[in-house]
Each structure stands twice: as C-alpha cells, then as structure tokens.
A = this chain, B = another copy of it.
C-alpha cells in the first residue's frame, strides 16, 4: 500500500431511521458529511449495501475535485441488523473501499459515547443493552429483545406497568395513581389492556414508559417499584463490570438519564457525559484500522 496521506477515513452509521456518513482526513478532521435512507442490514441487506455506497458517494461529491477515490477510503460501518461475523463479511465484501470494518451499531455507539475513556454505557430506549469497554475491548450484556430480555427498557417498563395494573385490579398488588390512570386510559376494565397486549409491539409498550418515569419522579409507589426493578438489573450489570479507577458510566437513549436517580450511590458517582455519537465511534474505529494499516506498511 501507498503512504499514509493518500487515505481518507470514512465513518458510516446506519439503522432503520437512516444512514449517516462522515469523510475525514487521516488525522480525524471531518471534511464532508451526507445522509441517506434506512440501512438496517437485517431488514433489507441488498438495499442497505446500495444505501451505504450511495451515501458515501454523496459525501465524496461534496468535496468536488478534492474528493478521494472510494478505493482510497479506510472505512468502518456500524449498522443495525449485523447479527454475526458472517453478516459483517457479507457486507464488507460488497463495499469498494481500501479497507472496511463492519460491526453492529451497538459497538460504534458505545465507542462514540465513551470516546477514549473506559467504563460502561447503559443504552436504554425502546430496547436496552449494556456495553462495558476496556481499552479497545467492548463487551455487551443484554439487548436480547423484549420477550426474553431488554430489562429496564422502555418496552419492558410499559409491559410491566400493564401487568402490575392487572395485578392491582385483581387485588394482588398495590394500586396507585399510576395504575388508576392506566386503567382509565383503557376504559376502566382489563379487557382493553388484554387486547392491547395481544397486538402490541415493543414500541407500543415503550410509549407508556414516560408515564412510569413521570409517576416515579412524583413519588408514585408503583412508578418507583417499576423503576427500581429496572435499576436493580442495571446495578447488577454495573457490579458485574467491576469498574475502577477513572472508569465512567454513561446513560444514553431516551430513557437512560432517567435511571440516574435509581442507581446505587457507588455507580452514580461515576456518571459522566456522553462524548459523541455512533458516527464518531465509527470514525474512531476507521482510524484504528488506518493505524493498523500503517503499522503493517
């Protein structure tokens, strides 16, 4: 391979809501950005390949005559729906860059959030997972989906709120302002809740999570039970991570920050601000590939 300066870095972040690309010089300075359509590899692999290639070309066009050739890009793509090494190889083989790392977007997200710091990311939105990072090594816990995992997630909070409301209806759990509000929302009887649950997808349950958060903040007993249950899972994951020294904890996703008040004091002390995005994480990984390329050259 040629000398270092001939290469540009290319960061790719893709998921169901769209694809984002940043082109940077070898020192990491971003010189161009572009965004494109949905790029979830599990939903539509062929379309994802097209979207990634086109979005990268769009970012290159922004550079006009100074644009490097795609074959002179060192890239990393972090995409939703990359389930295993086979998926990663299949995608990398169809991208025409000098080198291209591929991972799922949990990895790029965790690295973007923590930057060069070590510690843990609690990523909690509709779903949830925990990332534990030590140097270049990132380990993931959870993220197995609502049915058999995603403890502490918005979908789980919403589903457990409905379950608790029905237990309270039966007289088997305490009721509260929150369970009464939920019952009223479903016309005052379980049949509406049962019908909702029969058709609900994770995002439908997650739409109820802000009610749990708000009620817990206002001191509602059931709201606190449900947030405490989610926090017990997160505390367990953080205990398992055995953080020490300068390790930090970042709470991300729509619900992550709301768990801060429910974490154990020893964990709360480590909470720090997220540094960057999944696209920043992809850029960092592309740079690492460039460094490896230099070392070998």
Cβ of A264 under 8 Å from chain B: no
Residue pair B144, A194 in contact (C-beta under 8 Å): yes
Residue-wise, chain A 206-241 has the 8 Å CB interface mask toward B (1 for contact) of: 000000000000000000000000000100110010
Q: Which residues of B contact A190 (CB under 8 A)?
A: 144
Q: Check if B236 sits within 8 Å of A147, measured CB to CB.
A: no
* B-side contacts of A142, CB under 8 Å: 170
Distance, CA A166 to CA B197, complexed state (A): 24
Given known A141-B172, A142-B170, contact A197–B236 (CB-CB < 8 A): no
Q: Is the CB of A149 within 8 A of B172?
A: no
A127 to chain B, nearest CB (A): 12
- Given A83-B191, A84-B191, A191-B84, verify A148-B163 contact (CB < 8 Å): yes
Number of copies of this protein chain within its complex: 2
Total chain A interface residues with beta-carbon distance under 8 A: 28
C-beta contact mask, A62-90 vs B, less than 8 Å → 1, else 0? 00000000000000000000011000000
Interface flag for A200 (CB, 8 Å): yes
Classify the interface of chain A: helix, strand, loop or mixed.
Answer: helix
Is A135 an interface residue, CB under 8 A from the partner? no
Nearest CB in chain B: distance from A151 CB, A: 8
- Cβ of A171 within 8 Å of any chain B Cβ, yes or no, is yes
Q: Is the beta-carbon distance between A166 and B149 smaller than 8 angstroms?
A: yes
Asked if A144 and B237 sit within 8 Å, CB to CB, the answer is no
**How close is A76's CB to chain B, nearest CB, in angstroms?**
23
Q: How far is the CA of A194 from the CA of B170 in the complex (A)?
A: 32
A159 contacts the other chain (CB 8 A): yes
**A positions within 8 Å CB-CB of B:** 83-84, 141-142, 144-145, 147-149, 159, 162-163, 166-167, 170-172, 190-191, 193-194, 197-198, 200, 233, 236-237, 240
Give me 29 A-to-B residue pairs in the complex whose CB atoms sit less than 8 angstroms apart, sorted by A's number: A83-B191, A84-B191, A141-B170, A141-B171, A141-B172, A142-B170, A144-B166, A144-B194, A144-B197, A145-B197, A145-B198, A147-B159, A147-B162, A147-B197, A147-B198, A148-B159, A148-B162, A148-B163, A148-B166, A148-B193, A148-B194, A148-B197, A149-B163, A149-B167, A170-B237, A170-B240, A171-B240, A172-B233, A172-B236
Please give 15 more A-B residue pairs, beta carbons under 8 A apart, in addition to A141-B172, A149-B166. A141-B171, A144-B166, A144-B190, A144-B194, A144-B197, A145-B198, A147-B159, A148-B159, A148-B162, A148-B193, A148-B197, A149-B163, A170-B237, A170-B240, A172-B233
